[in-house]
Structure 1
Amino acid sequence: MPKTVTAATLVLAAIRDRVAALHAAVEPETDPTPVVEDTEIGTDPHDDESTGHPDFGGDGGSSVTVPATEDETPDDDPATGSLGSEGPDVERLAEALADLEAVVTGFASLIEGGELPALRAELAWARSTVEEARALDGTVDVLEELVEDLDPTLRQGPVEARVGIVVASRNAERRDAVTSMLAQPEWTSLLAHADQLVLTAPIGGRKPKHTTRVLARALADADAAAREAAAAAVTEAQGSDRAGEPRLAPVATAAHTVATTAQVVRGALGKQARKLADAADALAGALEERRRNEAVAHWLVDLADLAHRAGEPSFTYGVLHAEARARRIAADETLAAAVTAYTKPKLHKWLDAAGS
C-alpha cells in the first residue's frame, strides 16, 4: 500500500463511490464511476473477489391474504406477476442504499461531519421501504422456482394464475411505495446530506503512519457489533420454536457492514481482512436464503386459503409448502454453519494486534 495513502483518503473515496452509485440508481444519466476504486489503493489486482449485497429484507413472512373476490378468480391464461421495466430499479437502489449505510456505519468513528446523524436516520427511513420491495422480489423468485419444479402430476387448479394475481398485486403495492418515497422531501434531504458529506465532512485518520491502526479499529468495531448481534440471535433462538426468527435482521445488517468495511480496507490490512469479508458475506447470504424460504412458507399458507375460498383445489399449495419447509430446514443448517464459521476466534484475533 502506498505510504502516502491515509485512512481519511481511503474512507472518503469509499463514501464518494457509494454516493455516486446512489445518484446513479435514481438518475440514469449519472455516471456512477467512482473517483477512486477500493481496489486501486494497495490491493492485489489479481484478487477480484468481491462481497455481494444480501440484506435481510422487511418481507420476512408477512401475510398476503386478501379477500377472494369474483374478479380474482384466475382465467385460463396465467398472469405474469411482473411489472417489467416500469418504476425504479429496486435491486440497484437497495444495493446503493445498503452499501452507503454500511460505509457510514463502518467508518462512523472517523467521520466528524455534522451531516452524519441525519444521513444515517434518513438511510434507515429509505431502506425500510426499499428493502420491503427488494425482499418481495427475492421471495417471489423462490416461489416461482418451487412452482416451476413441481411434478405435473401434483398440480391441481390454476396455480400459476393464482400466484400471478397475488404477486402482481404485491409488486404494484411495493413499487408504488418506493416511487412515492422518492418523491418525498426526506429523500431530497438524504441526497443533500450525502453530497455534503462528500464535500465538507472532516474525516479522521490523516497521518499515513496511523493508517493500518485506524482502519483496523474501525473494522474491529463493526466486527464486534456483528458478533454481538449473532450471539443475541443464537441465544434468543434457543428459546424459540422458530429458530432465530426474532433478531435475524440486525445480524444481516451488521454482517453486511463488516463485509463492506473489510472490502474497503483490505488493501491496507491484507488477506485477513478479505477472509473476514468473505465470512461476513457468507453469513449475510445464509440469512437471506433462510428469510426467503421462511417467507415463501407463509405465502403458501395464504395462497392455499385464497384458493380454497375461491373454490379452487388447495392440495398443490400443501405440496409446495412441504417443499418450502424442507428448504427452510436446509437453510437453517447452512445458517448455523455460517454463524459457526464467522464466530471462530482465529478469524478475528488479528484485529486486536493490528489496531493497537
Structure 2
Amino acid sequence: MADMVREVERKYEATDDTELPDLHVKGVATVTDRGHATLRAVYWDTADSRLAADGVTLRRRTGGTHEGWHLKLPAGPHTRDEYRVPLAASPPRTLTALVRSRARTEPLEPIVELTSERHTFHLQDAEGTLLAEVSRDTVTATRLGTDDTPTAHWTEIEAELADGPPELLERVGKRLRKAGLRPSRAASKLQRALDETGGTPPSSEPGPPPTPRNAGDHVLAYVRTQVRALVALDPAVRRNQPDSVHRMRVATRRLRSCFRSHRAVLDRSTTDALGEELRWLAAELGQDRDREVLMDRLLDHLAHLPRPLRLGPVRTRLHTYDRARRTRSRRSVTAVLDGRRYLALLDALADLLADPPLRPAAAKPAERVLARAVRRDTARLDARVREALAAPGGDARDQALHRARKAAKRARYAAEVARPALGKPAAKHVERTTALQRLLGDHHDGVVARAALRDLAQQAHDAGEHSFTYGVLYEQERTLAQGYERDLPAARRAATEHRF
C-alpha cells in the first residue's frame, strides 16, 4: 500500500540571478538554510500524455529526502495528493492501478527526465515546528524517446506548506511577488518540460471551457463533466475512500440519463450502447453502495430504539451481516475496475467526446431544445407518480414507487443539463425534483430494509436468539413508509406543476 501525503504548494517563475527575499513573514520565527541537493526524476506517461492532460504526474525520483516512486493526483487548487512507494525498476502496480482510468490500455513509458539543483529553506515557528518549505530549483529537462533528445532549462521557486496554516503560503507569495517573481504559468514541472521540449501536448487544455453556444454545447459540457468525474473518482474507489462509490455511481447515472433525455441532440445509435454499459457499471457499483445505505439506516434506527426493546445481540448480528456482504462487494468492485469491459467503456466515452454524434437539434438554441427535454421528462415523472398512488398497497405499490423514483432522477438530471441555459427556473426545478427523488429514495430504502430485517429475524431465530427487535424495527419501517406515501402528493405537485 502506498503512503499518501497532501501537498499544498505554489510555484513562481525566476531567473538564474533571482535572490530570495526575506521570508520572515507573520508567523515565521526562523528561516533555516537546509543546503543543496541534486534531485533526478524520470516522469512516466502515455505517448499522448493522458496523465499530464489531467494534471497527474507519475515519477521515479532519486536524491533528496524522498526517494522513490511518486504519484500526484489533483485534489483542489494548488493541492495534490501524493502517493509514495519505495524505489523499484519499473512503475509499481500499486500506483499504476491508480492511473488506470486515465491510461486505460495505453502503456506507460518514460517521457521526460528532470534534474533539479535544489536549495532549500525551512520556515519554522518559535517552537521549531516546520511551517513551510521554500526551495529554489535550477531545472534541466530532457525529452526522452526521441532521436534529438531536446532539452530545456529554467529556474523556479517552490513554496510548499508543511504544518503551517494555509494563509502562510499567501503571505510568502505576497513577499515573493513584491520581490518581482510571478506565479508559474505551468501547473507542474512536467507540464513546463513538455511545453519547452516539444513533447506531445496534452489532449485537454487547462483553463475555463468555452462558453456554450447551442444545445449541443450544453449537453456535451455536461457529459464532459460527468466523464471527468468518473475517471477522477476511480482512484478514490480503489482506495475505499468515503462516499467515493456513491459519487462514482451518480456520475454513471447522470451520463446514462443525459443520453436518454437528450436523444434529439446525441444520436442514440451511439449512446444507447453506452447507456447499457453505464447501467451495468452502476449495478456493479451499487452492490457496495446499497450495503452502506442499508447498514447506516438500520444502525441509526437501532441506536434510537429504547433499550428495553433491544433484545439479543442485534448490533453484533448486523455487523456480521454487513461484513459478509462487504467482503464480496469490495472484491467485485475492484475486479470491475480492473476489467476490460470497464476500460472499453472509458475508451468509448473518450471517443464520444472527441467525435460527438451530434444530430441537427444540437445546433439549435439551447433554451428551446433543453426545455423541451425537461418538460417531457417531467410529464413522464408525473405519470409515474400518479400510477404509483393509484396502485394497490404492498409489492405492487412499492414497485411502482421505485419506477417513479427512477423517473424523478431522470427529470432532475435533465434539468441539471438545462440549468446553465435556463437559469433560475431550471435551478428551482432541480431543487424540487431532488426533494421528490429523496422522498421516493427514502421509501425504497425502507422497502430494502424490511426485506433485510426479515432475513435477519430468520437468522436470529435459527441461532436461538431473540428476534423481537427485528420485528420492532420492521414495524418502524412500515410506519415510515406510510408517512412517505402521505407526503407524496404534495411533493409531486411541487415537482411537476412548474412550466418552462
Tell me how many residue pairs correspond in the alignment.
290
**Aligned-pair distance for 1:168?**
1.1
Match of residue 126 from structure 1: 281
Instruction: Report 1 or 2 for greater relative contact order, CA contacts < 8 Å, sequence distance ≥ 6.
Output: 1
* Letter of the structure 2 residue corresponding to residue 260 of structure 1: Y
In 2 relative to 1, CA 247–178 (structure 1 residues): closer, same or farther, beyond 3 Å? farther
Distance across 1 between alignment mates of 2:490 and 2:302: 28
Q: Which of 207, 226, 248 does residue 93 from structure 1 map onto?
A: 248
Is this contact kept in 2: 1:113–1:203, CA < 8 A? Answer: no
**Aligned-pair distance for 1:258?**
1.6
In 2 relative to 1, CA 197–255 (structure 1 residues): closer, same or farther, beyond 3 Å? same
* Letter of the structure 1 residue corresponding to residue 463 of structure 2: A
Comparing 149-158 and 3-12, the one that deviates more: 3-12
Distance across 1 between alignment mates of 2:479 and 2:244: 32
Distance across 1 between alignment mates of 2:488 and 2:263: 28
Q: Select the structure that is richer in strand.
A: 2
Query: Which runs of no fewer than 5 residues in structure 2 stay unpaired?
Result: 1-209
Within-5 A mapping of 1:67-146 = 85=240, 89-112=244-267, 114-146=269-301
Is this contact kept in 1: 2:265–2:362, CA < 8 A? Answer: no
Match of residue 246 from structure 1: 399
Distance across 1 between alignment mates of 2:349 and 2:425: 30
Match of residue 160 from structure 1: 315
Match of residue 292 from structure 1: 445
**Deviation digits for residues 36-86 of structure 1, max 9, x if unmatched?**
xxxxxxxxxxxxxxxxxxxxxxxxxxxxxxxxxxxxxxxxxxxxxxxx938
* Letter of the structure 2 residue corresponding to residue 264 of structure 1: V
Query: Which runs of no fewer than 5 residues in structure 1 stay unpaired?
Result: 30-83, 351-356
Match of residue 222 from structure 2: 14
**Aligned-pair distance for 1:114?**
4.7
Identity of aligned residues (%): 29
In 2 relative to 1, CA 234–330 (structure 1 residues): closer, same or farther, beyond 3 Å? closer
Q: Secondary structure at the match of 1:115?
A: helix
In 2 relative to 1, CA 195–149 (structure 1 residues): closer, same or farther, beyond 3 Å? same
Match of residue 140 from structure 2: none
TM-score under structure 2 length normalisation: 0.53
Match of residue 316 from structure 1: 469
In 2 relative to 1, CA 211–341 (structure 1 residues): closer, same or farther, beyond 3 Å? closer
**Aligned-pair distance for 1:16?**
0.6
**Aligned-pair distance for 1:242?**
4.4
* Letter of the structure 1 residue corresponding to residue 409 of structure 2: H
Structure label with greater radius of gyration: 2
Q: 2:495 aligned with 1:342, yes or no?
A: yes
Match of residue 410 from structure 2: 257
Is this contact kept in 1: 2:284–2:336, CA < 8 A? Answer: yes
Q: Secondary structure at the match of 2:399?
A: coil
Is this contact kept in 2: 1:115–1:196, CA < 8 A? Answer: no
Is this contact kept in 1: 2:236–2:244, CA < 8 A? Answer: no
Distance across 2 between alignment mates of 1:3 and 1:194: 22
Q: Secondary structure at the match of 2:264?
A: helix
* Letter of the structure 2 residue corresponding to residue 25 of structure 1: L
**Aligned-pair distance for 1:28?**
4.9
Q: Select the structure that is richer in helix.
A: 1
**Aligned-pair distance for 1:160?**
0.9
**Deviation digits for residues 307-330 of structure 1, max 9, x if unmatched?**
111111122222222222222222
Match of residue 194 from structure 1: 349
Match of residue 211 from structure 1: 366
Q: Which of 15, 26, 34 does residue 234 from structure 2 map onto?
A: 26
* Letter of the structure 2 residue corresponding to residue 123 of structure 1: L
Match of residue 327 from structure 1: 480
* Letter of the structure 1 residue corresponding to residue 470 of structure 2: Y
Distance across 1 between alignment mates of 2:321 and 2:358: 48
TM-score under structure 1 length normalisation: 0.73
